[in-house]
Chains A and B, each alone.
Chain A
Amino acid sequence: MISAIGWIIIWIGVLFDVLGAIGLVRFPDVYNRLQASTKCVTLGTFGIMVGIFMIHGFSAMGIKALICGAFLLLTNPVAAHALMKGSLHFGVKMWKGTIVDNYGKDKLGSEQIERGGG
């Protein structure tokens, strides 16, 4: 029974991972793609870890999966934040549909929004 629930959670996690990948392809610029990949991949992979924990219970593998999940929750947002700040400072432009950029206004001199063209 518990094992069946574990498998269901694993497949939900895989589903969210796939949705994250679709978002990665469909969104227009680095920042929106980071949104999709960070959120969906964090929850998806966390779901896989929790599913493994439910299948294996309190054994070496189950506990390891749970600790990996906790570290994932702590570190994945930090990594995404680093990527985002790095892209901003490197001068990657935001999509032309972006409506406001307070960070560029305050820190980089001007709004980092792509104008005209494709």
Chain B
Amino acid sequence: MRYIIYFITGFILLLLLTWSTNIDHLIAGAAVVLVGTVLFGGYFTDRPLKFLQLHRIVVFAIYVPIFVWYMVKANIDVAYRALHPERPIKPGIVKIRTTLKTDIARVFLANSITLTPGTMTCDIDGDILYIHWIWVQSEDLEEASRIIASRFEVFLRRIFE
């Protein structure tokens, strides 16, 4: 089942990339996507159909603009630190604990943390994430988890779990 979903997704992506319905393109593309499916389909998520549920898509659509806003804020923050004459940084690696359970949700959490203000994921070990923080506000595990992760977990739990 998940191989079929993977094939369809890959084929749609290929159609968007080539942007042509020429029969040669379709046949060659289908062959390439088939090879990709056989090789990598096993790594695909277990229950792909649950990502088509309407409420997940709605929450995702809300999440994207909020995420872009955090990204813009992160960039202004880094630009400020880079341009400030005294270079105000106080870096360190802190631990946080996530409440998310599935792997894919944790991957998205780690990526979101990397792209948002001053924080960057070094490693994931079970439910512990190691975060490089450019301006350490708290070394405490619970406090740091609340500052860094909770604002994304609210959304990601509804999208991926």
Binding site for B on A (CB under 8 A): 16, 19-20, 22-23, 26-29, 31-32, 34-36, 38-40, 42-44, 59-60, 63-64, 67, 73-74, 76-78, 80-81, 84-85, 88, 94-95, 97-104, 106-107
Q: Is the CB of A36 within 8 A of B115?
A: no
Count of residues in B whose CB is under 8 Å from the partner chain: 37
Chain A interface main SS type: helix
* A34 x B82 contact (CB < 8 A): no
**Complex interface: chain B residues within 8 A of A16 (CB):** 75, 79
Residue of A nearest to B64 (CB): A73
Return the chain B residue nearest A16 by Cβ: B75
Main SS class of interface, B: mixed
A–B complex contacts, Cβ < 8 Å, 6 sampled: A32-B134, A34-B132, A43-B72, A81-B110, A94-B91, A98-B93
Q: Are A19 and B122 in contact (CB under 8 A)?
A: no
Residue contact A100 to B136, C-beta cutoff 8 Å: yes
A63 touches B16 (CB 8 A): yes
